[in-house]
Amino acid sequence: MTLWQGILLGLVQGLTEFLPVSSDGHLAVIGHVAGVHTPGVFVEVALHVATLGSILVVYGRRFWRLVVGVLRRQPDALRYAGLLIIGMIPAGLVGIFLEHLIERAFQSLWAAGVGFLVTAACLWSTRHRGPEGASQPSPRGALIIGLAQAFAPLPGVSRSATTISSGLWVGLGAVAAADFSFLMAIPLIAGAGLVEARHASADIAQVGAVPLLVGCIVAFLSGVFAIRFLVAMLRRGRFYQFAPYCLAIGLFTLAYALWHG
């Protein structure tokens, strides 16, 4: 991996990880179109971990307040943490039992193209949902959000789109849905990073330490911008306006896959 490829992947990851347009889908498309081929999923996970730092910049204070509240056995904190755990269980099971299937999906532009169309449909379905709503989901609502998130490891299916859209469907306010989505992402991304760390030495040697480091820095900085921009869009009730872009990139991806066989 060259330096410019690292910068490109980092920028794509940072912007698309939090904007509801699928970072994995964009990385898969960039990999095919720009010829950036990475060994396994380690580089993608490394870039995800870099964007974990972006979440901690924006949500770190709230996350640690929640942790402290749980340690002190505060009822509100315990309930919210329980809801986050309910939401994380489906994605955790998918990551454990379907890892190889997800890796194979990354090799298919058809999977990414269909995933983008699914993301577009999720986003468009929220166009009549106002920014106001509940501050936290019910246990049933948390499970629905978790089930929606379980599809997010597939390329083209945006985690933020599925979780925030499903949060709006179950009656959360727009900002509350984003809060729940990003707080739920912290342990999931950290866990994925720990799982893939066992491949670090071999994969870093193949892709190059400097391009990977630069890509992670770019992903972190652009991720902070993307989170703040997304929350601003949610406050204005414009979450669904990302749908046309996902539709366009999905159709482009399918056309490219068809053209190149």
**Average pLDDT of the chain, as a whole number:** 85
Band of residue 170 on the pLDDT scale cut at 50, 70, 90 = very high
pLDDT band at 51 (very low <50, low <70, confident <90, very high): confident
How confident is residue 169, by pLDDT bands cut at 50, 70 and 90?
Answer: very high
| DSSP string for residues in 176-220 | HHHHHHHHHHHHHHHHHHHHHGGGHHHHHHHH-HHHHHHHHHHHH
Q: Which domain holds residue 57?
A: 3-259
pLDDT confidence band for 38 (50 / 70 / 90):
low
Residue 50 structure tokens = 């870099």
Give me the percent of the chain exceeding a pLDDT of 90.
Answer: 46
pLDDT digits (tens, 9 = 90+) for 114-163: 999 999 999 999 988 877 889 999 999 999 999 998 888 888 999 899 99
> Which SS3 state, helix, strand or coil, does residue 172 take?
strand
pLDDT at 66 over 90: yes
CA 254 to mean position of chain CA atoms: 22
Tally of structural domains, the chain:
1
Quote the pLDDT of residue 31: 74
Query: What pLDDT is recorded for position 254?
Result: 94
pLDDT digits (tens, 9 = 90+) for 199-242: 555 556 666 778 888 889 999 999 999 999 999 999 888 899 99
Instruction: Name the band, by pLDDT with cuts 50, 70 and 90, for residue 70.
Output: very high
Which residues, in sequence order, are CB contacts of 6 under 8 Å at separation 6+? 208, 210, 211, 212, 213, 214, 215, 218
Q: How confident is the model at residue 37 (pLDDT cuts 50, 70, 90)?
A: low
Average confidence (pLDDT) over 87-103: 75
pLDDT band (50, 70, 90) for residue 197: low
The model carries a pTM of 0.85
Greatest mean pLDDT among 3-17, 124-138, 243-257 lies in 243-257
Residues 73, 89, 247, CA angle at the centre, nearest 5°?
125
Distance CA(211)–CA(202), nearest Å, equals 15
